[in-house]
Amino acid sequence: MKFANNILETIGNTPMVKLNKVLGEDFPALVLAKVETFNPGNSVKDRMAVKMIEDAEKDGRLKPGGTIIEGTSGNTGMGLALAAIVKGYRCIFVTNTKQSKEKADVLKALGAEVVICPTDVAPDDPRSYYSVSRRLAEETENAWYVNQYDNLSNRQAHYEETAPEIWEQTDGRLTHFIVGAGTGGTVTGCGMFFKEKNPNIKIIGVDTYGSILKEYHETGELHPENAYTYITEGIGEDIIPENYDMSVIDHFEKVTDKDGALYARKLAKEEGIFCGYSAGSAIAAIKQLQHQFTKDDIIVVLLHDHGSRYVGKIYNDEWMKEQGWI
């Protein structure tokens, strides 16, 4: 008989799917989508969530019966919650008002407590979800604050698992790797692996307007005052997490809130791939960079999470009309 001993053993080995229509018939290169929605938590974040927990168990930061506390836009929380159920931990997740209601509801369905903070406050504001997460970790007995932003197990998971899968699936022939950039774990972890294998592979992070990642990458200067509120979920930052190694990233491409939403809908209707906001942004970024690609290029784009988490927003016509986007 073939079966997994628990749901965590089903993480990884997600499919690679050729994109045929969404980028247009005149698109020059082969584009392959690494569809991470096939993970049990429906996102790439399952990989690093389990890695962070297992590393914390090994070095004693997370003790039996402990409480896992994290600030999350939803997907990391989902992966942590699945692992906590299997391993016997309690979870408290802190998110903000920008994130879709579906994400918070899913976390609650998995037994987690959810605290919601305002979006439009500075990272060091005591009301921010960064600050509230740290405070709860200090106040809660036997708690472990995950801190996916600065926890290097995040990027290590992608260096050890995600990138080698992609390398094998493409026979090492990929020329470009494109992925939404948030905590920095996926883009850096995969970037480190690919650059070791072939320094000519281009690593492109997808950023959004209102984020400071692209500016910091190009100037090396940190100007948090240049950050402003945006609608896109799952990518962009108003801080520079420690998971980033900017030296392995060749370029950041910014995409508007509108284009990310429209291309997510386009991906669903034209390819049958139902993914989230950051996936739309990644596809839009590829389209924006079309002039740089040739017929010999093999582009891998990682699609982070599932569209079911955005049915009240980008997949809702009324919401899209309120934004003036359709």
Instruction: Confirm whether 7-38+161-323 and 45-145 share one CATH topology.
Output: yes
Which residues form the catalytic set?
45
Identify the pLDDT of residue 56.
Answer: 98
Residue 141, phi-psi category: left (phi > 0), alpha (psi -120 to 50), beta (remainder): beta
Domain 7-38+161-323, architecture per CATH = 3-Layer(aba) Sandwich (3.40)
- Token representation of residue 95: 């998110």
d(CA 281, CA 283): 5
Tokens 């948090």 found at: 224
Identify the pLDDT of residue 253.
Answer: 98
Q: Running DSSP on this structure, what letter comes out for residue 158?
A: I
Identify the pLDDT of residue 297.
Answer: 98
* Intervals of the chain under pLDDT 50: none
d(CA 259, CA 265): 10
Identify the pLDDT of residue 74.
Answer: 84
d(CA 26, CA 248): 30
Query: Which pTM was predicted?
Result: 0.95
| Closest to 192 measured CA to CA, from 221, 219, 152, 222 | 152
Residue 101 pairs in a beta bridge with: none
Domain 45-145, architecture per CATH = 3-Layer(aba) Sandwich (3.40)
Identify the pLDDT of residue 139.
Answer: 95
**Domain regions of the chain by residue span:** 7-38+161-323, 45-145
| Closest to 205 measured CA to CA, from 160, 161, 155, 156 | 155
Identify the pLDDT of residue 94.
Answer: 93
Residue 255 pairs in a beta bridge with: 208
Distance from chain centroid for Cα 258: 19
Residue 114 pairs in a beta bridge with: 93
Tell me how many degrees the CA angle 147-191-271 measures, rounded to the nearest 5.
Answer: 95
